[in-house]
Structure 1
């Protein structure tokens, strides 16, 4: 179990690195935001360096993201299109929940390529593999069965683009609400072969 002080340090580091980047975040700033005496060395009782705390933040956020994914709807479905719509809405919610991790990766991916690769493999690559299995099971025979990983890569890209546009502009693209977007994407995927 993580000590309350260590958790506060992780929270403070996450907030500051998102705001100022790794280079613009100081140990003293982390201590201050975590409610510790700045410059007292309290940080160093829990972490050897700013890099170590950053790595710990990424690891914690990855664990949280994987836990969120465990909450996704699974199991047999009666209506594949309706199930896809619900899953896509879950994916959009998931993206909102993992936004701190995404922000860190977007800002600092070049600084810690080993972590970036590991997180990408765990969240994106493994997520596509898991969802491909569900597509094969839940959708009637059709285009989704031809290359489910490629199709899911397209879907993940569409969901990511929608999510990013919402974040950039503070509203849904073309005022298409998430439920409409998810339903339209599900309809495309569940459409019978031509």
Structure 2
């Protein structure tokens, strides 16, 4: 079978375009898409008022939003690569994946606000984000569980449902914090991650499944 060609890299944006995109996404998250004008974005990006300089890089405000969502979706491939390649025994790998998920969601805090509050007005973009970033991430975790189960490292009856619990619990924690300004029960990340890892390790039978020491 011939090797599958690598996907073409997206063209690199100029520094000005990156600055416009960064500032626009922050404004969309803080003020909302409709309440953010082209003039607001240009001012935040340090462009001359009334110059129309934004249009040298993006054809419209909606194109700026779409570019921000495209960058968000690109993160899914990085997540899938990590899930496929994370080494070590299941408990160590699970800790790496949990910490990485928390960090990625923290890095995407502005985008999460936009996804939850703004994309209902852009159904095609919403559906694309749902499939290419969110559903694909759950599918990758389910595949990881399926492979570890086949190797006897975990015990999983329903990989898809278990993936929804594993990743969904972290997503819920971070979304709560992002939308409401503080985490559930005002927990620090490390405290939450320790509890998450203890519960998930036991639920997956890690150690017991591999013939290791159980909880006793």
Q: Could you tell me the TM-score, scaled by structure 1's length?
A: 0.84
Residue 95 in structure 1 maps to residue 105 in structure 2: yes
**Is 1:106 paired with 2:120?**
no
1:51 — aligned with what? 62
Query: Which structure 2 residues correspond to residues 163-178 of structure 1 after superposition, within 5 A?
Result: 163-167=174-178, 168=180, 170-171=182-183, 173=185, 175=187, 177-178=191-192
Report the alpha carbon displacement of residue 31 of structure 1 after superposing the two structures with TM. Answer: 0.7
The 5 A counterparts of 1:2-151 are 2-67=13-78, 69-72=80-83, 74-75=85-86, 77-78=88-89, 80-139=90-149, 140=152, 144=156, 146-151=157-162
User: Where in structure 1 do 4 or more consecutive aligned residues deviate above 4 Å?
Assistant: none
CA distance in 2, matches of 1:82, 1:142: 12
Name the stretch that deviates more: 111-120 or 181-190.
181-190
Separation in 2 of the partners of 1:142 and 1:64? 27
Q: Please give the root-mean-square deviation of Cα atoms over the aligned residues, in Å.
A: 2.5
In structure 2, the partner of 1:185 is 199
Larger mean CA deviation between 94-103 and 21-30 belongs to: 94-103
Report the CA distance between 1:32 and its aligned residue.
Answer: 0.7
Segments of structure 1 that go 5 or more residues without pairing to the other structure are: none
Structure 1 position 141, deviation (Å): 7.3
Higher relative contact order (CA 8 A, sep 6+): 1
| Greater mean alpha carbon deviation, residues 25-34 or residues 97-106 | 97-106
Gaps of 5+ in 2: 1-11, 210-216
Q: Check conservation: 2:25, 2:110, Cα contact below 8 A.
A: yes
Per-residue deviation, 1:180: 1.3
Does structure 2 conserve the Cα–Cα contact (< 8 Å) formed by 1:69 and 1:94?
no
* TM-score computed with the length of structure 2 as normaliser: 0.77
Alpha-carbon contact 1:89-1:182 (below 8 Å) kept: no
